[in-house]
A and B are shown apart, each in its own frame.
Chain A
Amino acid sequence: MEEKKHTSSHYELELQEIKSNLIYLGALTEKAIHLAMQSLTGRDTEMANKVIANDYEIDKMDKEIEEKCITILALRQPTAIDLRFITTAIKITGHLERIGDMAVNIAEKAVQLNEEAQLKAYIDLPHMSSIVEEMVAKSLDSMIKRDLGIAEEVRQIEQVVDDLNEQIFRELLTFMMEDAKSIHRALLIMHISKNLERVADHAQGIADMVTYMITGENVRHFNKGNGHKET
């Protein structure tokens, strides 16, 4: 949907800036997840440490976006679609920052796993990761294009990720039952799977906010019986 431009070109610019910052932050977090997973599958500890070190950039961007939003709230008193965009942006940047934290968690686990012999070939995790990365990309796409259909798609995919997480969990349980020495590594992998599942939750959170931004209707917490719980 094409929006008319604001009479104040400066205001227009400020809003555009927040949008492009969100896109940039989205790209940073997507990359962080991708590299964290690569550090695991490629047993590349150096890369894992890079992901951990680069998180400050994500945090910095998050803070910057939030400050810009607060400034607009204070100085421009946005209404209607602008108000919904700003509140959405504040939430989205929070979700993205948390996704960055998940990447750090994954990288930290990768560092530990890389020190030990590989428990099993990583098949489901990279698959799950690619789905999750796509969810994050799509959720941001739905914001940029203001497309309810894409936001809905993200919500649909979320269930697939939940199922995958469950499946990985069950598989790792059998490993642990068979060999007690595998417990430590299996638990680390479980954490990674859980972290990916949480990234999917955040992507859904973004999609929900986009739906709110477009329609004014709050759809959060309606899609899951147990709500979004951070564990």
Chain B
Amino acid sequence: MEFNIIKLNKVNFFYGQVRALTDISMKFEKNKVTALIGPSGCGKSTLLRLLNRMNDLIDGTRVEGEIIFENKNIYAPDVDPVEIRRKIGMVFQKPNPFPKTIYNNISYGPKLTGIGFEDRDALVERSLKQAVLWDEVKDILNKSAMNLSGGQQQRLCIARALAMKPDVLLMDEPTSALDPISTAKIEELIDELKKDYTIIIVTHNMQQAARISDETAFFYLGNMIEYNKTDKIFTNPDVKQTEDYITGRFG
């Protein structure tokens, strides 16, 4: 059965006087990979950051409309953004492990928030296995995470996000700083992870969106131009603007 995990109702977003998103209404399906694509400045990363209230951290921003998650507007006054960010995790463009051991990178969050009462060793192992990193690091868990390769660091960041047992994983260009092999590993991982998580990914790499996502939304100048099944978008999009963009006839 299809089930929407996050629902946006007429969302507008402003950086000061500048409107970055206009009347966005869309739904994200559970256990699906949704890709957000569009040229720089189209609002896709802004939208991604809205989904776990990361934009709260920027001064002078304002949100209108509703983002419903677990039957509740995540921007309601009584909602704790930290709790939202636990359930809706994020992985960034550049791998950003803590300057700690591999083990502590994973266990730090759960320890801090007091979740994951299960055996901490088991949690570390499970998270690293889910991120398909366990076999590569199981003998060096007490070494610094900074010694890992870029691709390994990014998978560590994914493992770190998974350790918080989120429902949704937001990824902002997670492979743009990685080589093709590391990229392929992350893409493979995303495919694996969607069994248990809902993944929303921002990518500039159109082929990546085509390869890994089930649904694709195309944004331009703060508007959502088309939201469709990925194979439809890449073979026969409904909107001319989408076609111009994905075929490289833009600007």
From B235, B236, B249, A7 is in contact (CB under 8 Å) with B249
Report how far A77 CA is from B236 CA in the complex, Å: 15
B3 is an interface residue with CB less than 8 A from chain A: no
Number of interface residues of A (CB under 8 A): 17
Q: Could you say which residues of chain A place their CB within 8 Å of the CB of B207?
A: 77
A83 is an interface residue with CB less than 8 A from chain B: yes
Q: Which residue of B lies closest to A216 (CB)?
A: B236
Q: Is the CB of B235 within 8 A of A84?
A: yes
Smallest beta-carbon distance A2→chain B, Å:
11
Sample of 7 A–B contacts (CB below 8 Å): A4-B244, A6-B249, A8-B248, A77-B207, A78-B247, A80-B243, A82-B247
Contact mask for chain A residues 201-231; partner B; CB cutoff 8 A; 1 contact, 0 none: 0000000000000011000000000000000
Q: Which residue of A lies closest to B236 (CB)?
A: A216
Smallest beta-carbon distance B192→chain A, Å:
24
A3 is an interface residue with CB less than 8 A from chain B: yes
Smallest beta-carbon distance B230→chain A, Å:
11
A79 is an interface residue with CB less than 8 A from chain B: yes
Report how far A76 CA is from B250 CA in the complex, Å: 16
Smallest beta-carbon distance B55→chain A, Å:
31
B251 is an interface residue with CB less than 8 A from chain A: yes
Residues of A within 8 A of B (CB): 3-8, 11, 77-84, 215-216
Give chain B interface residues in 172-187, CB to chain A under 8 Å: none
Q: Which residue of B lies closest to A212 (CB)?
A: B236
Q: Is the CB of A79 within 8 A of B235?
A: yes
B166 is an interface residue with CB less than 8 A from chain A: no
Report how far A4 CA is from B236 CA in the complex, Å: 16
B234 is an interface residue with CB less than 8 A from chain A: yes
Identify whether the interface residues of B are mostly helix, strand, loop, or mixed.
helix
Q: Is the CB of B248 within 8 A of A80?
A: no
Q: Which residue of B lies closest to A11 (CB)?
A: B248
Q: Could you say which residues of chain B place their CB within 8 Å of the CB of A215?
A: 236
From A8, A11, A80, B246 is in contact (CB under 8 Å) with A80
Q: Top 6 nearest A-B pairs by Cβ distance?
A: A216-B236, A4-B249, A80-B243, A79-B246, A79-B234, A82-B247
Q: Is the CB of A80 within 8 A of B251?
A: no
Q: Which residue of A lies closest to B243 (CB)?
A: A80
Report how far A215 CA is from B237 CA in the complex, Å: 10
**A84-B251 contact in complex given A4-B244, A77-B207, C-beta closer than 8 Å:** no
**A83-B249 contact in complex given A4-B244, A77-B207, C-beta closer than 8 Å:** no
Q: Is the CB of B247 within 8 A of A79?
A: yes
Report how far A196 CA is from B47 CA in the complex, Å: 59
B206 is an interface residue with CB less than 8 A from chain A: yes
B210 is an interface residue with CB less than 8 A from chain A: yes
Q: Could you say which residues of chain A place their CB within 8 Å of the CB of B250?
A: 7
Q: Which residue of A lies closest to B237 (CB)?
A: A80
Q: Could you say which residues of chain A place their CB within 8 Å of the CB of B244?
A: 4
Give chain B interface residues in 34-68, CB to chain A under 8 Å: none
From A7, A84, A216, B248 is in contact (CB under 8 Å) with A7
